[in-house]
Amino acid sequence: DAGVIQSPRHEVTEMGQEVTLRCKPISGHDYLFWYRQTMMRGLELLIYFNNNVPIDDSGMPEDRFSAKMPNASFSTLKIQPSEPRDSAVYFCASRRQGAVTEAFFGQGTRLTVV
């Protein structure tokens, strides 16, 4: 398996534009997580899905952020409109059901909003 795949690896966009980040989890994994990482706040959980259903979106900063998981092999995180303070590295991770199953992370998308 190629692991968790995220695209794009880097994204530079202008303030006000829509940004869509993509994630393909590892096949057979039941959970999918979206995290945001900044120097100031470290890794923050934005939202996670279990069997394609959003379970907890309390970490989504505001209505400008939305996430979908239309099927078991694909998820998107959308920011509309983007703002400079959204600049960060966004990680997707997946794991199997079970309390101590390992979570595997993608390489991340570095987003810069200018």
Please count the residues of this chain forming the interface with another protein, following the rule CB under 8 A.
26
Type and span of the H or E element at 42: strand 42-50
Q: Which of 80, 101, 83, 79 is nearest to 34 (CA)?
A: 79
Rule CB under 8 A: say whether 74 interacts with another protein: no
Give whichever of 50 and 112 is closer to another protein, judged by the CB atom. 50
Rule CB under 8 A: say whether 90 interacts with another protein: no
Rule CB under 8 A: say whether 4 interacts with another protein: yes
Among 50, 83, 85, 112, binds another protein (CB under 8 A): 50
CB of 74 to another protein, least distance (A): 18
In this structure, are residues 104 and 93 in contact, taking their beta carbons and an 8 Å threshold?
yes
Rule CB under 8 A: say whether 53 interacts with another protein: no
Give whichever of 50 and 81 is closer to another protein, judged by the CB atom. 50
List interacting residues with another protein (CB under 8 A). 4, 31, 33, 35, 41-45, 48, 50, 55-56, 91, 93, 95, 97, 99-100, 102-108
